[in-house]
Amino acid sequence: MIRAENIFKSFDDNEVLKGISMEFLPGKTNLIIGRSGAGKTVFLKILVGLISPTSGKVYYDDVDFFSLDKKQIREIRMQVGMLFQGSALFDSMTVEENIRFPLDMFSGMTLAEKHDRVNWCLERVNLPGVNDKYPSEISGGMQKRVGIARAIVLSPKYLFCDEPNSGLDPRTALLIDELIQDITYEHNITTIINTHDMNSVMEIGDNIAFLHQGHLAWRGNKDQVLETESEELKSFIFASPFLQRLRTQALAAKNQ
Amino acid sequence: MNINLLYHFGRYILLLKQAFSKPENWSMYWKETLRQMNDIGIGSIVIVALISVFMGAVAAVQFAYQLDGTLVPRWYIGYIVRDLAIIESAPTITCLVLAGKVGSNMAAELGGMRQKEHIDAMEIMGVNTANYLITPKVVAALVVIPLLVTLSAYIAIGGGYLATVPTGQITADEYARGLRAFFIEFNVTMMYVKSFVFAFILTTVSCFQGYYVQGGSIELGKASTNAVVFSNILILLADYLLAVLLTS
Ligand SMILES: Nc1ncnc2c1ncn2[C@@H]1O[C@H](COP(=O)(O)OP(=O)(O)OP(=O)(O)O)[C@@H](O)[C@H]1O
Ligand SMILES: [Mg+2]
């Protein structure tokens, strides 16, 4: 479990996060949603310690993350996998070398064992046989999958995904979402996903936190989204007139 | 301005402290160091050779011109070219040129990795990125650059020969006599001290510039330029300080 406690973050006089507290549950897809610029990436990077908060605390299973020394932080990080907004694959390495990198660095495996593990991960993300391609030779959606494969190669306890489906067509986006959710359930991972995609919210939102103007404006799950009375959330998720009509119809159908 | 300078200097020292700690995985570091040696060494041989041959040639021709009509014997040309190469041109000019080639390259490579979140991705995996990305470059440079400097000294002496002997200004024997005259071993020591210090400066300063890049392609370009400019200034400053220290 990961717990954030009263996180504040400002850049100069731009106050981005104004006291966010929340828990992220194991075996669940925890979503952080909010408008572009709401501070989702900043919040996620604070959770993994890439940015330090102006004030507030982050706990990993009741260990205060920011009180740890560098070595202890690295030990926690070995249990963390992260998919970046832009995939962040190393472009001078092949797909196989990318996925193998954490293994090369931290495991005592033989080359054959590493190769098997890489293939297992690629199978898992439905992308077998691209081992020798370079990141520039595969599509954006495939890059995301390779990013996921690399994030899960060391069997993480915590998985962070920053906009896993931005820039993908709705069908591919859905596949990526489902993939992340399946992996989360299979291995009881604490998964935290940043997104502003309403499909993701409605499909995989086990535990949703809505960031609005620096505050945690709403919490709930995908079933509660439909019925929410929060004006900010409604105008964020059901942004277009078309979606508003759908919502009204869905609510009507439900209440019959 | 002064506070800013102190801030950057402090950050530079902290980065070095982080970089020079015990590697997590020796074989990965070794592989990376070999790759860097190849990049720095093999990648720079041609340019270093080209510059050195001209430096030697120009020095020889210029001194031949200056000695003309004086009482100084012509075979002094060999002596002057040799000492000029060993003391100054081989270590200093080579490293200034390498700052332009290798330093800007390192800053751009690290800066690109920072901007594309590669460094963050490695951090998340638990890698000490300052250590893994910087130390192999510094170690490789400390091994390879003194070798390049040695090569440069030899080639400069060859350049001096090519510019004066085939043109008939002096004979090969005279040139060789100059090369053997007044040889002071300490000058060679000085050459190596300089090349180690300059190699350290140019790699660490360039990596520092690249490692902390923010923003976009304009900042990346700036970092790459700064890597060259600051390396060059610091190399010249160190050159002066070493000259004062080592010859006093
Ligand atoms: N390094 C930084 N320096 C200064 N301001 C920053 C920095 N990083 C983020 N910000 C500011 O923090 C705010 C939130 O940015 P953030 O990237 O977290 O948004 P986001 O919710 O992830 O948006 P998107 O959905 O577009 O990715 C923005 O106003 C941005 O200008
Ligand atoms: Mg973002």
Domain range enclosing B89 = 37-247
Question: Which residue lies with its CA nearest to atom 19 of ligand 1?
Answer: A37
B12 in a structural domain: no
B20 in a structural domain: no
What whole-number distance in Å separates Cα of residue B246 and Cα of residue A182? 67
What whole-number distance in Å separates Cα of residue B210 and Cα of residue B111? 4
Tell me which of B232 and A172 has the higher pLDDT.
B232
- How confident is residue A70, by pLDDT bands cut at 50, 70 and 90? confident
B15 in a structural domain: no
pLDDT in tens, B172-204: 898 888 888 898 889 999 999 999 999 999 999
Average pLDDT of chain A? 91
- How confident is residue A238, by pLDDT bands cut at 50, 70 and 90? confident
Q: Which domains does chain A have, with CATH numbers?
A: 2-79+157-255 (3.40.50.300), 91-155 (no CATH)
* All residues at 6 or more sequence positions from B199 whose CB lies less than 8 Å from its CB, including other chains: B95, B98, B141, B142, B145, B146
Average pLDDT of chain B? 92
Ligand 1: lining residues by beta carbon, under 6 Å: A 11, 14, 16, 34, 36-42, 196
**Residue range B51-67: mean pLDDT, rounded:** 92
Q: Do B120 and A88 touch (CB under 8 A)?
A: yes
pLDDT at residue number B141: 96
pLDDT higher than threshold 90 for residue A256: no
pLDDT in tens, B1-50: 567 888 989 999 999 998 998 888 889 999 999 999 999 999 999 999 99
Q: Tell me which residues of chain A, numbers 117 to 156, contact chain B at a CB-CB cutoff of 8 Å.
A: 154
B27 in a structural domain: no
Domain count, chain B: 1
Name which of B127, B126, B129, B149 is nearest B137 in CA terms: B129
Distance of CA A105 to the CA centre of its chain: 24
B138 in a structural domain: yes
Q: What's the pTM value of the predicted model, to 2 decimals? A: 0.88
Phi, psi of A31 (to 5 degrees): -105, 135
pLDDT at residue number B25: 85
Q: Do B125 and A101 touch (CB under 8 A)?
A: yes
As a whole-number percent, the residues of chain A with pLDDT over 70 amount to: 100
As a whole-number percent, the residues of chain B with pLDDT over 70 amount to: 99
B17 in a structural domain: no
What whole-number distance in Å separates Cα of residue B100 and Cα of residue B110? 16
B149 in a structural domain: yes
Q: ipTM score here?
A: 0.88
Q: Best residue in A106, A153, A161 to probe B by mutation, most B CBs within 10 Å?
A: A106
DSSP states of B121-150: HHHHHT--HHHHHHHHHHHHHHHHHHHHHH
**Residue range A192-212: mean pLDDT, rounded:** 90
Q: Do A84 and B24 touch (CB under 8 A)?
A: no
Q: Does B14 touch chain A (CB under 8 A)?
A: no
B150 in a structural domain: yes
